[in-house]
Chains A and B, each alone.
Chain A
Amino acid sequence: MPIFDFDSAPNHRLVTQLADGRSKMISCRKPAKHCILFVHGFNGDAIDTWAGFDTIALNDPDLAETDLIFFGYDGVRSNALAASSFLFDLLDSAMTDGKALHPIRSSAPNYESCVLAAHSLGALVTRWALIRANQQKLDWLDKIRYILFAPAHSGGIIVDSVTELLGSNPISAFIGSAAKVKIPLLHALRTGSPILKSLEDHTISAEAAGCTTIKARRVLIAEHEEIVSNLPFPGDPFPTAIRGATHTSVSKLNDFPHLITYVKELL
């Protein structure tokens, strides 16, 4: 299984920070027809959550005319609605005037389609942004293709699982096991919480009004999920499980190279 590729990206330029200071972009050398916008989860990292999409995916000729944008936000100290507001601004600009992508793209990219890929808490962040776009009747919503990885929209994040959430390093590995404290912050995302209930109500009414974009095209879940509930969200398709994956590895192309097919099928 490839975990690192020393081949240079033939069709893309170097990862570059966007003006918001947190998001990153890998632009294709040719004019872009598509983009993939990745949204990480709680305590995630804009790029590392999607390890492999920033390296080995760039050798895939099918992505030669696709920009990759990695949205960054403070998943721990922000909240889903605030983060969704920042995401909405980025998405709206990327799909219209392109100003949020300056100076990487000097003119509006005019994408034919945008795959919106979200992991864990990112599912809430993205769905709120799509609900807003639907309420504002924005044209670009029809160009969005929505895919979810281990979404936290049906409850979670389970508060005892701090080891996996503290970061991947030897100190966190031990602290996560030694600490006994609960994390009250995450109770807001418990199953049936007001924020999840409101999200569900908004989604159901948007779908009833004919908005299909808000429905995920595919939901990928981890076989060894210990962080979030795998219960399907109303209207979403039955989930596809990734064999051997955990909550944090399920979005990593380095670990599961076949993930690329699920993203590419939406372009």
Chain B
Amino acid sequence: MDNSYDNFKYLTGRLLLGADHLALEPLFQSKSDEELAQIFRNHETDPIGITDPNEVSLRRHMDSWLNEASLIYLSWLSGYSSDPEGKDQGNRIFAILGHPSLRPYYESYYKQALPCLFCLHLEENKIETQDSPGAFEAFANLYERFRNDRELACFLEFLDGYCYGKPPAIITIDSVIRAFENPDRIVEAAFRPASQLTPLDSGIIGLLHFATFCTSLHEFLEKCKGLPLLQSAFWFFYAYWFREYKKDVKNLSIQAIQNAAMNTKDSGSQALASESQDRLNIIMSALTGNDYASELIKQFPATDIGIASFDLTEKATVKSDLASRFAAYNKPRTN
């Protein structure tokens, strides 16, 4: 039985009736292009950053909305759901995704390939599909498992350069990794009551959750070996975590194990530390490397995409094709 249209209606309904869309659609209908570009600006070029709670909330809604939209694109790519292009639901998605004030947000400032491809798709610039609806369902389960993990989100913020407190008591990603020198401290953080949780505790727990996520994602991607295009597209859903944050998460997570093993004396513990480190190295090398990226990049349409009609920093419109924008993903991470 072909359930692709039923799946399409369910998935697009989930997006269009969801809290994120209900918060964003009126915004795109009522605000000027300049106002929207201001909300979805690059935080690094703003000397104050993003501090207005309303802006923070809208940007969180947008990040979550982009994830759901990317899922719809993956569902089409895997043959799980029918094509949204030309349908009313597709038009409503395009009204936000294709808005010139938003596009720089995912094309340039916080670079994500799947929203770019989905936008091109809705402009009738499509790539080949690779049918495996079951693989998509398994991916969606993985996404659901980790989507609302607060500690994982805290760890990702640390990775992106966030810090808590003031010098000399400042807590950064380096504090999180250093904490692993004392394994008892890690266990205490993992089981501390909610009222006593510190940002450092959250970062520590977040790293453990991140390691569990990476282990699950790597296992899943390896099962998708026979589906190279989908394997690559699924990896791209999370590529930002592995390629775009300031800190190299592979080096940091391996350093965490090395720190924990620092004071182990007996040969049994040292062997276990070495085994854990080797396993983590395999997982993180695969996820932060370039092997998973190449297959989807090969499929990128050659069409130029414009950046930043309302880019507050560059002013001028710059054009480049999608493949060159993600060219660095075809090489190992350099920092």
The interface of chain A, by Cβ under 8 A from chain B, is 4-10, 13-17, 21-22, 24, 29, 45-48, 54-55, 74, 76-78, 103, 162, 166-181, 183, 185
Contact = CB atoms under 8 A, between A and B. Distances in A.
Contacts of A54: 141
Interface of B: 1, 3, 6-7, 10-11, 13-14, 17, 80, 132-138, 140-141, 144-145, 147-148, 180, 183-184, 186-188, 190-194, 197, 207-209, 211-212, 214-216, 223, 253, 256-257, 260-261, 264, 269, 272-273, 276-277, 279-280, 283
29 contacts: A5-B134, A6-B135, A8-B136, A13-B6, A14-B140, A15-B140, A29-B3, A45-B145, A55-B137, A55-B141, A77-B193, A77-B194, A166-B208, A167-B208, A167-B209, A168-B212, A169-B280, A170-B280, A170-B283, A171-B253, A171-B257, A171-B276, A172-B208, A173-B272, A174-B273, A178-B183, A183-B191, A185-B191, A185-B193
- Nearest 6 CB-CB pairings of A with B: A8-B133, A169-B211, A6-B134, A178-B183, A181-B184, A174-B276
A180 B187 CA distance: 9
Label chain B's interface by main secondary structure.
helix
Contact of A178 (B145, B261, B283): B261
Contacts of B140: 14-15
A16 B3 contact: no
B194 A170 contact: no
A111 B3 CA distance: 24
Contacts of B148: 17, 21-22
Interface centre among B145, B187, B215, B279 (most CB of A within 10 A): B187
Contacts of B191: 76, 183, 185
Contact of A173 (B132, B197, B276): B276
A162 B187 contact: yes
Nearest to A79: B193
A39 B190 CA distance: 21
B133 A13 contact: no
A172 B137 contact: no
Contacts of A14: 7, 10-11, 14, 137, 140
A175 B144 contact: no
Nearest to A54: B141
A9 B80 CA distance: 10
Nearest to A22: B148
A171 B32 CA distance: 49
Contacts of B186: 175, 179
B17 A103 contact: yes
Contact of A169 (B6, B135, B183, B215): B215
A177 B266 CA distance: 12
B269 A177 contact: yes
